[in-house]
Amino acid sequence: MAVFEGLYFNGKTSAGLPVSVELLPTEFRLTTRTDADFLRIWDTNLIGRNDFNDAELVELQYAASPPEYLEVKDPAFFGALKMHYPKAAFAGSRYGSLISGNPLPLLSVLAVFVLLVAGAYFWLIPKTAEVIAENLPVSAEAKLGQALIDGMLEAEEKDSVKTMYAQRFFNLLHASPQSGKVSVTVVKHRQANAFAVPGGHIVVYEPIIHLTDSYEEFAGLIAHENAHLQHRHSLKALFRNLSSYFLVSLLFGDLNGIMVVVAENANSLKSLEYNRELEKEADMTGLALLEQKHIDPNGMVGLFSALKDEKENIDLPEFLSTHPVLDSRINYLKAKIASRKFRVQQNDSLQYYWQKLKEKSIE
């Protein structure tokens, strides 16, 4: 016969009554030293567990009206329950009951939960961020872009003369009421690169200008980067990459926090990678502009060929030097050009500005 000390609650008052708990084959016998007339018999078939803490405190519930409760804080009590009532539900761990028997249902539920969480993190949240970017007001994008460009150019050396010529080249190439206001900045740098920054900014690293062999190739580069701006590719990619930060900031209404996160991650735009679908969209949009302006579309092909051929001799970002990607882009551009009749006309103004850009800097 095993006897333990515990607290009994009758379900009518919150006060607990100290009792002795005697474990019998089919029942619990609860008695108290202070009241000789007190006796409660609990049928083991009506006892249930009411706790999740097996080690320190065992709390049992008895199916009376109102329900009665028993708390026993004794490390040996749980072992005694298992020994005296091995098949009783109240003698098993509430934790263990979750995985007892066939574990496959629980594992299936856990697997579905993990997939849902992963799906939300890797697809739903980034996709939501893209939708937000797509519908962001132009004024908000402009403010965001200014914070980005200020953060990016703070430690860079700007070539003001070449920036002037690059801006004139862009204005002439994109002379259209629909083109919007775009600023082009030429930066002195060892790396050959160019990238679009949300809010209407294009940054050109000087070495990529010297990589071009004609104004048509430089026009292809500028047309491509402006297409990223027109389709908001850089904004969507930035929001997607930082979607988790944006979500937390939006949940807490911390719009300033978003600006801080963007500013701190401004340099990520220098090596921002777009998927092949977005790159092809930018290539096709750029190609359409060259056709509209009667500029030889083979300039864009020549640019990618130069990037491919000179990768060993110049410093290129990894995403610009990947041969399979460049080969694919060259092939579909050639196919597009071959399928159409392009009317090409020499543009002496673009030729002049490109030659000024190619000159050695005197700053």
Helix (H, G, I), strand (E, B) or coil at 70: strand
Mode of pairing for the β-strands spanning 201-205 and 183-188: parallel
The answer to whether residues 264 and 324 touch, using CB atoms and an 8 Å cutoff, is: no
Q: What is the distance between the alpha carbons of residues 236 and 144, in angstroms, rounded to a whole number?
A: 13
Q: Check if CATH label 2.30.29.30 holds for domain 2-99.
A: yes
Q: CB neighbours of 343 closer than 8 A, spacing ≥ 6?
A: 294
The dihedral formed by the CA atoms of 287, 289, 293 and 295, expressed in degrees to the nearest 10 = -20
DSSP state of 270: G
Q: What residue ranges of the chain are covered by domains with CATH 2.30.29.30?
A: 2-99
Helix or strand run (H / E) with residue 329: helix 323-338
In the prediction, which pLDDT does 187 show? 95
DSSP string spanning 175-237?
A: -STTS---EEEEEE-SB--EEEETTTEEEEEHHHHHH-SSHHHHHHHHHHHHHHHHTTHHHHH
| Model pLDDT, residue 112 | 74
Q: Which tokens in the block code for residue 65?
A: 């009206």
Peptide bond into 66 cis (omega under 30): yes
State the Cα–Cα distance between residues 265 and 239, nearest whole angstrom: 11
pLDDT tens, N- to C-terminus, the chain (363 residues): 689 999 999 988 888 899 999 999 999 999 997 887 888 999 999 998 876 555 578 889 999 888 999 999 988 888 899 899 988 888 876 554 444 455 666 667 777 767 766 555 555 666 776 777 777 788 888 888 888 888 888 888 999 999 999 999 999 998 654 456 899 999 998 888 898 999 999 999 999 999 999 999 999 999 999 999 999 988 888 777 766 666 556 555 555 555 566 655 555 555 566 778 888 999 999 999 999 999 999 999 999 898 887 665 555 554 454 444 788 899 999 999 999 888 999 999 999 999 999 987 655
| Alpha-helical segments (H) within 35-178 | 75-84, 94-99, 104-119, 125-134, 138-153, 160-173
What pLDDT is recorded for position 162? 96
pLDDT for residue 272: 61
CA distances 312 to 217, 306, 316, 323, 343, Å, are 20, 11, 9, 12, 35
What six digits make up the tokens of 278? 């977005």
Q: How distant is the alpha carbon of residue 48 from its chain centre? A: 46
CA 116 to chain CA centroid, nearest Å: 15
Structure tokens at 97: 């009951």
Contact status, residue 46 vs residue 37, Cβ threshold 8 Å: no
